Amino acid sequence: MNESLLRELVPAVIGVLVRRGADFASAEDAVQEALIKALETWPDDPPRDPKAWLVAASWRKFLDAVRSESSRRGRELATEVEPAAGPVPDTDDTLRLFFLCANPDLPPAAAVALTLRAVGGLTTRQIADAYLVPEATMAQRISRAKKKIEGQRLDRPGDLGTVLRVLYLVFNEGYSGDIDLAAEAIRLTRQLADLTNEEPEVAGLLALMLLHHARRPSRTGPGGRLIPLAQQDRSRWDTNLIAEGVVILQVALLRDRLGEYQAQAAIAALHADAPSAEETDWVQIVEWYDELLLITDSPVVRLNRAVAVGQADGPAAGLKALADLDPGLPRYAAVTAYLHERAGDLAQAADLYAQAAQSASSLAERDHLTREAARVRQLL
């Protein structure tokens, strides 16, 4: 069974049910039940027309749910919607579903979960496993999200920026369980790029994902130990993904509508293009960070820019670039430690690495920073 094809059909089938009269929440629930049934039966009995099968099964699930309502309105609705079954239209509502699921009114975690289920075609259990939470917890999160957008139609204009942020959140979850969320985010972003005629910021996000994903095999060592970019084995980088990402980025930049994802992708491309850490074009990277700051004056961008300045102009310049930033910013202590180490202030660097380890957001990061503190102390 081609599970990827099955997942790709889900948003189109939801759209069919909505056009036949179902509300979004009921349609999504019905398609989810049909999806689970398909995963159980298709390996032994694949249908001739997968989309028609999924539409028919989902429509039956929807009608069953309507008939089970005890209210008079429920019985009336069943009478109204049943005759709507018929030929499956070719209309693709996937883009509208992207916008609906990434509603700005939804908390990011809820928007991500709903997008993965309604647009990505994942089951609640798959999403829960990927996020390492109980299935019941994820089901409640999705249910609350659907209630939040209850009554909103698929023809409502959407916010593309919110959709892109949701997809990037999915990508940054990486991999856990049976579902590779980074690969799933790339798949969905490719789909979005096709639906939006390669709008430059969508293309920029896709390029950024591909360029980051290309380095994935070299990011961790034995036992999940983090390997910093400068120490990664570049022969393990996926050159095909890098080449694809660079081409997509170049086409996007030609449209002359620079956005934050294009600028980030340009920085990632410069890292990917360098034969070694020492040969990285840090001057160009600083220039791209300057462009990025004009788009989004983010403290995180300023922090990353300080690292690039430290490489291009020396550690003293990098530390100066940190002067106006809040020391409580995540990774501030780690960046400061790195720049002090490069400046030769090893005692200060060791203390800062240890401080950064205490506030690390993951065990892998804490382990890495603790080892950095120990390494620098051995140099004293």
pLDDT per residue as tens digits for the range 87-112? 555 566 888 899 999 988 889 999 99
- Strand partners of residue 48: none
pLDDT-flagged residues of the chain (< 50): 70, 72, 74-75, 77-79
CA dihedral 192, 193, 195, 196 (to 10 degrees): 110
Give the pLDDT confidence score for residue 70 in this predicted structure.
46
Q: Is the pTM of this model over 0.85?
A: yes
Give the pLDDT confidence score for residue 65 in this predicted structure.
87
Q: Is the alpha carbon torsion for 324, 330, 332, 333 positive or negative?
A: positive
Q: Is the alpha carbon torsion for 360, 365, 368, 371 positive or negative?
A: positive
Give the pLDDT confidence score for residue 87 in this predicted structure.
56
- Strand partners of residue 180: 175
Give the pLDDT confidence score for residue 177 in this predicted structure.
58
- Strand partners of residue 175: 180
68-103 per-residue burial string, b: 16 or more CB within 10 A, e: under 16: eeeeeeeeebbeebeeeeeebeeeebbbbbbbbbbb
Give the pLDDT confidence score for residue 74 in this predicted structure.
47
